[in-house]
Structure 1
Amino acid sequence: MTSSTEIRIRRSMSNCSRGEAARMTVPTWVRELDPDGLEDVHGWRDPKAPGRGVLLVPTEDGPVGVLLRASAGGTRAAAMCALCRTTHTVGGVALFAAARRGAAGRQGDTVGTYICADLACVQHVGAVPTPAVRPTPGVTVDERRAGLRERAAGFLATVTGSG
């Protein structure tokens, strides 16, 4: 059964066709989110298409989704996510590309950046540091969450051409 949240998330996709949005898998935990109260950036990999991911960015007008394509494999060395600034061990960060909105995207123009391979940035900014995942030291969880929202909004603006 399709929830109103799922319908709203599919309609919020900014850089893909309606068909692509209809084919993406929306996890159960995403369907349980409140789109009107969304404060954090959420992301997930599509279990039916592992090379595909979705980033859901809160905006003043509600959440906006970005369809991502992952490069094959992850990084071959420790690397830092450009959005949440969490450092990961080998393979914990991957290069993701997002088609630009509109005609540019239809012609193959993309924007790429390094993001947590599991797209779970919101969990990583609140995580207790471990050898595999190390959030920015000396910064509070609230500051890390705010920074994640700001950098994700900047990425969204680049994809949509609004920034």
Structure 2
Amino acid sequence: MRPVTERDIRDSFVNCTKGEARRLAVPRDLATRPWDDLDFLGWRDPASPERAYLVTESGERLVGVALRLATHAGRTRRGMCSLCLTTHPGDGVSLMTARKAGRDGQQGNSVGVYVCTDLACSLYLRGRRQVEIGGRLRESLTLEQQVERTTANVAAFLHKITG
């Protein structure tokens, strides 16, 4: 992913108002992010842990979506991220929902996806972040093919949001 600025991020959101995009918490460490290793930028709001955000390149433009984490209590089983296929114990995978863009979103419609709770899919793929117990399944696909699959999964999720 190419490096992006705070303004780029705020201007990219498709499923929230301009005022909501202006108020959301943007990471302060954008200058030090490992951009070459990121397929998308994802982060959790430190002041509001049930909020998360995902920004990715779609063609020549950035597309950002605001997400909400579903609440779950006492989950002890394993989960698999629908984007990067990393397995995590406990709450390492969360259901995140996004309000749909446009009129559908204004009517309260949303879509959901199970994703790594820390949104670090790109780093798990590349072995730059490890899951304490379990983790990446052995695959016959190359890293490039796994990255292509992950970006296709992200694009399919965004398509459900934007229509």
Conservation of the 8 A alpha-carbon contact between 2:37 and 2:123: no
For residue 56 of structure 1, what is the aligned residue in structure 2?
A: 55
For residue 17 of structure 2, what is the aligned residue in structure 1?
A: 17
Instruction: Note closer, same or farther for the CA distance 1:136–1:144 as it changes in structure 2 (3 Å cut).
Output: farther
| 1:61 Cα offset (Å) | 1.8
User: Gapped runs of 5+ residues in structure 2?
Assistant: none
For residue 28 of structure 1, what is the aligned residue in structure 2?
A: 28
When the two structures are aligned, how many residues end up with a matched partner?
A: 157
Q: Which runs of 4+ in 1 moved over 6 A?
A: none
Once the two structures are superposed, residues 58-99 of structure 1 have per-residue CA deviations (whole angstroms, 9 ceiling, x without a partner) of 211222111100011475410100011111111100000000
Q: TM-score by structure 2 length?
A: 0.85
Once the two structures are superposed, residues 15-64 of structure 1 have per-residue CA deviations (whole angstroms, 9 ceiling, x without a partner) of 111111111111123356699x8961121101121111011122112221
RMSD: 2.4
| 1:132 Cα offset (Å) | 2.7
1:5-154 alignment to 2 at 5 Å?
A: 5-30=5-30, 40-73=39-72, 75-127=75-127, 130-138=131-139, 139-154=141-156
Matches of 1:119 and 1:18 in 2, distance apart? Answer: 23
Matches of 1:73 and 1:28 in 2, distance apart? Answer: 29
Matches of 1:100 and 1:144 in 2, distance apart? Answer: 27
Q: Secondary structure at the match of 1:132?
A: coil
Matches of 2:31 and 2:72 in 1, distance apart? Answer: 28
For residue 160 of structure 2, what is the aligned residue in structure 1?
A: 158
Q: TM-score by structure 1 length?
A: 0.85
Matches of 2:22 and 2:37 in 1, distance apart? Answer: 21
Matches of 1:32 and 1:9 in 2, distance apart? Answer: 16
Once the two structures are superposed, residues 128-149 of structure 1 have per-residue CA deviations (whole angstroms, 9 ceiling, x without a partner) of 7654352231233222221111
| 1:9 Cα offset (Å) | 0.8
